[in-house]
Chains A and B, each alone.
Chain A
Amino acid sequence: MSHGRDTAPKPFGVVAEFLDAESLLEATRKTREAGYRAIDAFSPVPVHGLTDAIGFDDSRLSWQVFGAGLTGALAGLGLQVWTSTAVYRHLVGGKPFISLPMFFPVLYECTILFSAGAATVLMFKLNGLPKPHHPVFNAKAMDRASSDRYILCVEAEDPNYDEEALTSFFHGMGAESVESVRTSEGY
């Protein structure tokens, strides 16, 4: 505790609560128009258009999963070709050692296994999950963010961040409640 560092909670952001998805979408668009960039929104359901409204796009997942699938296909094919030509070379049913039609099913399953595993793991990894606690959970409004509340947050790292201005800005857009959230994370 006595590291001589400032360990007092720092501001994390300003959180506004809305009652439905349309208001959230509207408010998010206006917030972005007002010049804020470090925006995040939280909703119980995926809201279409929200990622565009906060100016976020990420399509890395497709390519990474495609790569994983290709790896799986090569691994499956490689395993079969290697075992049936080099280490376990047996003649079965008069079929050639490299029986590509018969190698196809395992190749296919390996492709799918690798892609599905990658899609799941990478989705969580890119999302920074698992992360049991996140500063935004300090907001009271987040208690219902997984049920029926739509939350907008402008984070403190935004260059234009100003708690008071944001609070009145959010109130002006009809937010149900507005909170300033503090965090002790990062020490």
Chain B
Amino acid sequence: MNETTPSRIDRVMMIAGAIAVCAGFVLSLIGIPMAGGAKGLAQSYFFAFASVATLTIGFFGLTLLHHTTRARWGFPVLRIVEAGGGWRQILFVALAWIPVAFVWREALYPWSNPEVVASDPILQFKAPYLNDARWIGFSLFAFAFMAWMSYRNSLWQRKEDETGDKKWRDLRTNWSSPGLVAFFLIGNFLYTDWVMSQDPHWSSTMYGILFVVGGMLAALALTTLVFCSQTKKAPFARVTEPWLTNDLGNMLLTGTMIWAYFAFSQYLIIWSGHLPEYIPYWLRRSNNGWHWLGNTLIVTQFFIPFLLLLIPKVKRVPALLGTVAGWILLMRFLDFQYIVVPTYREQMAFQPLDLGLLMLLLGLWAINFGNSLGQSALIVDRLPKGHVQEPVTDHA
């Protein structure tokens, strides 16, 4: 324990981010000619933006969840989660959103195009909701809400670290529990605005929450990956214990199952109803090659991590758990591709620009993430007592 090297995860993240930015930039340059003009660029950019935004929003949701429940597994990884969903990241997402909102809005959203609306009675009916001012206003409100909440939480966390006063902790809990309720509502409407309304005739009540839960799963996977890669280094080595990796593994398992449950329910209900309003969504995603991706994802995104996480050993060995977490994260991005992209591409095809822009944005995100991690100690000072003493009761 004494000889552990200090973790430089913040540096690692920044370097990895810089590499990703460079690679993404090159890939994007190669990809632009194949993307099909300005519209193709907008679409690829939107895919990258939606993925990064969902990851960040997922992190933000995890911080609220932690402050609400104060679950034991949350404390050692709290700093990682806070760095991923902190106000810096949220501002980054808000910046990344600007091109979507002000450059490519008309290219991405049919309801934003007056000519389309003029010939579409349903869009006219929806105009009180689907209009430019409300759409922009709501996103700005959501960014402000999230940035404000996370800023306050980290402020109170710092004050607690300085003074040791319990009142800051209770304040966080008292704000985060109603905050969590607001978060789910806001998250739902954000995804209705951003993604669902690209196909403005289609709707599903499960859709927004599916995105939010998917984002939280991605965030948890990244958290676990970062944590598991650092378990041999200070200060993480001090808190690495079988119960912790076991809990993280079980949370990933739960997240995977909840995600699968939501996704399957939505599919089953729409598929069996086969109503003309709702079925086009799945028709697009089960033809022209997209079904290959969809069917693969059933196995790779659900069955593989699910079965692996059932094995107790996987949840005890950090290297194994980290690998599974990395796999889940990768699959989350493939799933974003499957959910977001078929709306504008009939035929499934690999677009280098999608990957390039995703790497570019993710790289920038990682630099920002590493920077946030470097701002404070890597684990919270005041771990709950009994954290180390509590005997492991491995029920799994």
Contacts and interface: CB of A to CB of B under 8 A. Distances in A.
On whether A and B touch (CB less than 8 Å), the answer reads: yes
B264 A104 contact: yes
B268 A93 contact: no
Contacts of B129: none
A101 B391 CA distance: 43
Contacts of B264: 101, 104
A95 B271 CA distance: 9
A126 interface: no
B151 to A, nearest CB: 44
Nearest to B310: A66
B267 interface: yes
Contacts of B271: 101
Interface in B268-304: 268, 271-272, 274
Which 3 A-B pairs have CB atoms at the shortest separation, nearest pair first? A101-B268, A101-B271, A102-B272
Chain A binding surface SS class:
mixed
Nearest to A102: B272
A93 B267 contact: no
Interface of B: 264, 267-268, 271-272, 274, 391, 393
A101 B298 CA distance: 12
Nearest to B272: A102
Contacts of B391: 48
A172 interface: no
Chain B binding surface SS class:
helix
A102 B268 contact: yes
Contacts, number: 15
A69 to B, nearest CB: 11
Interface residues of A, number: 7
Given A48-B391, A95-B272, A101-B271, 7 more contacts: A93-B272, A93-B274, A101-B264, A101-B267, A101-B272, A102-B268, A104-B268
A54 to B, nearest CB: 20
Nearest to B271: A101
7 contacts: A93-B272, A93-B274, A94-B274, A95-B272, A101-B267, A101-B271, A101-B272
Contacts of A93: 272, 274
A171 B271 CA distance: 73
A104 B271 CA distance: 14
Interface string A95-106: 100000110100
Contacts of A94: 274
Contacts of A101: 264, 267-268, 271-272
B321 to A, nearest CB: 20
Interface string A12-54: 0000000000000000000000000000000000001000000
A14 to B, nearest CB: 32
A94 to B, nearest CB: 7
Nearest to A105: B268
A93 B273 CA distance: 9
* Most A-side CB within 10 Å, residue of B264, B268, B391, B393: B268
B394 to A, nearest CB: 11
Contacts of B267: 101
Contacts of B272: 93, 95, 101-102
A94 B272 CA distance: 10
B283 to A, nearest CB: 14
Nearest to B267: A101
A52 to B, nearest CB: 13
Nearest to B273: A93
B220 to A, nearest CB: 25
Contacts of B274: 93-94
A130 to B, nearest CB: 27
A95 B391 CA distance: 53
Nearest to A49: B391
Contacts of A48: 391, 393
A101 B271 CA distance: 9
Nearest to A94: B274
A78 B292 CA distance: 25
A108 to B, nearest CB: 10
Contacts of A102: 268, 272
B244 to A, nearest CB: 20
A94 B275 CA distance: 12
A102 to B, nearest CB: 7
A17 to B, nearest CB: 27
A78 B272 CA distance: 21
A65 to B, nearest CB: 12
A18 to B, nearest CB: 22
A103 to B, nearest CB: 11
A94 B274 CA distance: 10
A95 B274 CA distance: 10
